[in-house]
Amino acid sequence: MNRRTFLASSVAAIGGTSIAIHADEPVPRSNLGLLLYSYGIRARSDVRKEFARPANFLSFAHDRGANAVQIALGICDEKDCLAIRRLAEKRGMAIEGIVAPPKDTAIDRERFDSELKTAQACGAIVMRMVMLGGRRYEVFQRAEDYPAFAKQATNTLKEAEPIAARYKVQLAVENHKDLRIDELIQLIKTISSEWVGICLDTGNNLALLEDPIATVTALAAYTRTVHLKDIAFEEAPEGFRMAEVPLGQGSLDLPLIVKTIRQANPKVRFQLEMITRDPLLIPCLQDKYWATLERVPGSDLARTLAMVRKLAVSHPLPRLTKMSPPEQIELEDRQVRESFRNASKSKLIAY
């Protein structure tokens, strides 16, 4: 399958309906990478699982204007790794990986080792990782759940660090709506390794009532890769809702965020994370939310809610549940394209 054929087929939606790619549309160049999760709807609709293959996604992302990708590489043999690496070099693109942390079993530690070996062979020097699969305020039920999680996260990273050092691949732990600023810094400092840093998501800590500028200011020095996103808000009786929107169309001060991160790490890569989904509810006015967040000061809650009231959109944010599968895929692609256009036009990330 050649690139043109793949691009035509990769936009196929459920039921055989396709969304046209405008071949005459100029490709914006913006010094911005593309995270696979920005095309989660399309990837899930691909029954043959071709879209998320590293080589296919590399070419697809290049045609969207990306200069890098972040994607799960899995375990590949030497021949496939070499092919992926050569394709990236031909496209002038960088590769970053995604890996699940090792579980406390010999089999899973072997899996983790093999995935980092693959990453090295593909030319990836950064692997994004999350310590908690869900959101803290949804997963934990009791106050004692968090200390147990923090202890396990520390032990897991201690097991993972020597493997990362062996392959010279940096593990980038995402602020994944699980750890507040001081907690994540403490985790990274406890490991104290050049091979363990942070994948800095520019919007996630809003869900933990932390200011986005304060978040990037505190975490920038430890950052190895960035999930760049913009956020819009809706008010809600339970707290508020937040959703990714195309870069430049939300409430985040993206130029200041990029500048702050770049000052701390001039070589860090920015990966677009434009997840198209229903707005996420942050239920910060419900008791369950506070099960493991009891030490968060009331001033953080007050500041966040005041910000939401000031910046909330005047019209409801899109709900995917009201759209057909082809409409969802079209919206997803449009929002990614708009992000690249806006980043290019504004010269958001200087070369």
Q: Is residue 319 part of a domain?
A: no
- Asked if residue 308 is part of any domain, the answer here is no
Residue matched to tokens 């010999």: 106
For the CA atoms of the chain, what is the radius of gyration? 20
Q: What is the pLDDT of residue 24?
A: 55
Residue ranges making up the domain that contains 122? 27-231+244-277+325-346
The verdict on residue 120 lying in a domain is yes
Decide if pLDDT at 20 tops 90: no
pTM: 0.92
Residue 1 counted as domain residue? no
Say if CB 186 and CB 179 are below 8 A apart. no
Please name the residues in contact with 240: beta carbons below 8 A apart, sequence gap of 6 or more. 233, 234, 281, 282, 284, 304, 305, 308, 312
Residue 97's DSSP bridge partners are: 71, 127
Position 150 in a domain:
yes
What is the mean predicted confidence (pLDDT) over 262-268?
96
Give me the number of domains the chain comprises. Answer: 1
* Mean pLDDT taken over the chain: 93
What pLDDT score does 27 carry? Answer: 79
Q: Calculate mean pLDDT across residues 32-56.
A: 97
Q: Is residue 132 part of a domain?
A: yes
Domain assignment of residue 256, yes or no? yes
Question: Could you tell me which residue, 158 or 2, shows the higher pLDDT?
Answer: 158
- CATH code at 161? 3.20.20.150
What's the residue count for the chain? 351
Residues linked to residue 282 through DSSP beta bridges, in sequence order: 240
